[in-house]
Amino acid sequence: MTVSAEMIIAIVVILVLVVGAFWLLLGKKRRRADAFEDMEGHEFEYFCADLLEQNGFIDVEVTRGSGDYGIDILAEKEGVTYAVQCKCYTAPVGVKAVQEAYAGRDYYGRMVGAVMTNQYFTAPAVEAAKKLKILLWDGGYLEGMMEEG
């Protein structure tokens, strides 16, 4: 069985295309993650608000910076109202953010409380969120929202 030059060229071209596509996707995903890694708090809140709008949320409102009772964004989706706490951190998010979302949800009379972060959550934060019924949207979840939106 002999392999023709055309066959070898076709295999090389396919390999180059596959490797190129892989690098392109990897670079695109990394740029998405980098998009919010260097943001300041209020900038991240507006980024999250835009992300919610791109994913079908309506009446998205960034609350004022101080005296917001721990809630940074108010929004609605499919008749469900949300109170969202945003945390742009360099380390995992702890229980305090979950407590703020819980208190703020009730203060604003919203159905659902959530914490959005570019990071991940500590085990105690996850446990508290389960007990307090607070949604946790971590960096991976945000990247998924970026892909969908």
Global pTM value: 0.75
Q: Which pairs from 18-25 meet CB under 8 Å and 24+ separation?
A: none
Euclidean distance between CA atoms 72 and 42, whole angstroms? 9
Looking at residues 128-138, what average pLDDT do you find? 97
Exposure string (b/e) for 30-55, b if CB count within 10 Å is 16 or more?
Answer: eeeeeebeebeeeebbebbbebbeee
Mean pLDDT of 61-77: 86
Given a contact cutoff of 8 angstroms between Cβ atoms, the answer to whether 108 and 61 are in contact is no
Q: Is residue 23 helix, strand or coil?
A: helix
Q: What's the pLDDT tens digit per position in 101-128?
A: 999 999 999 999 999 999 999 999 999 9
pLDDT at residue 33 tops 60? no
